[in-house]
Structure 1
Amino acid sequence: MKILITGTAGFIGYHLANRLTQRGDQVTGLDIINDYYDPQVKYDRLKSAGINTDTIAYGKPVKSNTHDNYQFIKLDLTDREGLDKLFKAEQFDAVVNLAAQAGVRYSLINPQAYIDSNIIGFTNILECCRHHKVGHLAYASSSSVYGLNEKMPLSTADNVDHPISLYAASKKSNELMAHTYSHLFGLPTTGLRFFTVYGPWGRPDMALFLFTEAMLKGEPIKVFNHGNMVRDFTYVDDIVEGVVRVIDGPPQGNPEWTGANPLPDSSVAPWKVYNIGNNNPVKLLDFIKAIEDKLGITAEKNMMDIQPGDVPATYADVQDLIDNFGYKPETSIREGIDAFVDWYLDYYDVKRGNTSH
């Protein structure tokens, strides 16, 4: 297939582009490469995929020098004309929209970034998919949409109308916007609620990266909610496997759906929402212990109150993923953390001679 993946200088997008390229799809990666976190990590991800970052210029595709079936283009999702030109030229079979302004806490500081990227940018993606007859749009939603929900495990069958951050609200909005396009224009769309993704090439603003960095520097780590957090940490390869299976199985519409009893995660339209999570919640202090064991370092912990916008617990119900695709994420925390730490030590030691950056 010809597939567009937005956000390929990002964490999940980088891994997904590699996977689809390796299986033989024609992949176009897109990213604006903003400075929300260290852009060097983003450029190095692209270099790892064979992109000569010295030749990147806005709006100009760059071919990978290691994969004949991969190209990258620097483009902003808010650039409607640029996106339309790309869609017209490439005629994509499928689109995976992973580009977004990420982060719960940052949405309290810079809400406009979330409107620009996650609302306006996503509208432009929907419009391009509609007008250029894309066969399937899969897009990143988030476990954050569950907001104040407390019934565990968190299920796509439950109402999610109480988000507690603008980031979460923007992701819930994406699901609603996608439904209208599925209903009005017959565009198959699938929303993917990711649960705390971690692994090699991970985001520097996320807990695993921050904890590892601080421990190696001998600095204290910030432990929010006094350690009473529970997260369904999901290894990036498991996320990618789920996304690939979903791409290959666009929704057809649920013939049993009825407006008299409207299920929140499907529709008569070709629209569906899935959780992709490990289905195995882990206490934050156990997560930290696994990092300590791998590094051979005991962390100094600053116990802090829960941050505004954070939820105390996540736990994914993935029964739909099992039923429809025969798939369930299974990488253990120990395996995943070991792989991340090995990558981290290699990346910073080899590239910069030390673990500071």
Structure 2
Amino acid sequence: MAYFSFARSIVAGEPITLFRTADGADARRDFTYIDDVVKGCLGALDTAGKSTGTKSGKKRSPAPLRVYNLGNTSPVPVTRMVAILEKLLGKKANKRVVTMPSNGDVPFTHANVSHAAHDFGYRPATSLDAGLRHFVDWFVHYYKLDPAKISKAKLTKRKSMAMSAAS
């Protein structure tokens, strides 16, 4: 969601808000490319056993449920993600840097994928750079944007709202 929201705002010339902690550190996130998440979800499905019944007709207890944390395991500053988007889009973001509120957000996310790795071999394979490159290719194609004109683009509020609704 952050990729899309920031890309849309950068292309439209709208400001994006970046958070810093009270001590001045950039917020860090464990960005995960959608293909890696889908592979993880499919892997988790493959571990599911029957929850009731057997061939003999005897009832058995449901298989225990396990929650898997899927992520990239490589947190990066949000400012780095924005810098990559700026480079790929060929346009600087209009950044608004603010101190992170003490409630409602966290300064750092990092996925612990150890259960998923153990149970079904989950290993995220897409780097942030590669994932953003795939995303920007899709974004430019889907919205029929001319990459040569993005740096000069000023999407109207109506156009950018239509882009949000289309996603």
TM-score (norm 1): 0.35
1:314 aligns with 2:109: yes
Equivalent positions of 1:1-357 (< 5 A) are: 206-225=1-20, 228-250=26-48, 270-307=64-101, 308-349=103-144, 356=160, 357=162
Q: Which runs of 4+ in 1 moved over 4 A?
A: none
Contact 1:251 1:272 in 2 (8 A): no
Secondary structure at 1:342 match in 2: helix
Partner of 1:276, secondary structure, is: coil
Deviation for aligned residue 1:269: 5.5
Between the aligned partners of 2:49 and 2:112, the Cα distance in structure 1 is: 19
Q: Which amino acid letter does the alignment assign opposite residue 285 of structure 1? A: T
The aligned amino acid for 2:76 is: V
Report the alpha carbon displacement of residue 277 of structure 1 after superposing the two structures with TM: 0.6
Aligned identity (percent) is 40
Structure number with higher relative contact order (C-alpha < 8 Å, ≥ 6 residues apart): 2
Note the aligned Cα RMSD (angstroms): 2.4
How far is 1:220 from its partner? 2.2
* Helix, strand or coil at the partner of 2:105: coil
SS at match of 1:234: coil
Aligned to 2:165: none
Unmatched 5+ residue regions in structure 2?
51-61, 146-154, 163-167
CA distance in 2, matches of 1:319, 1:306: 30
Amino acid of the residue matched to residue 250 of structure 1? A
Aligned-partner Cα distance in 1 for 2:76–2:16: 18
Which runs of 5 or more structure 1 residues have no equivalent in the other structure? 1-205, 253-267
When you count strand as a share of all residues, which structure comes out higher? 1
Distance (Å, rounded) in 1 between the aligned partners of 2:69 and 2:6: 26
Q: Is the 8 A contact 2:44 2:68 kept in 1?
A: no
Q: Could you give the per-residue CA deviations for residues 27-67 of structure 1, whole angstroms, max 9, x where no partner exists?
A: xxxxxxxxxxxxxxxxxxxxxxxxxxxxxxxxxxxxxxxxx
2:28–2:75 CA contact under 8 A, matched in 1: yes
Helix, strand or coil: the match of 1:344? helix
Total equivalences in the alignment: 135
> 1:218 offset after TM fit, Å?
2.1
Question: Can you list the C-alpha shifts for 1:198-218, whole angstroms capped at 9, x where unaligned?
Answer: xxxxxxxx3221211121122
Measured in 2, the distance between the counterparts of 1:269 and 1:292 equals 47
- Residue 166 of structure 1: aligned partner: none
Deviation at 1:327, TM superposition (A): 2.0
What residue is the counterpart of 1:63 in the other structure?
A: none
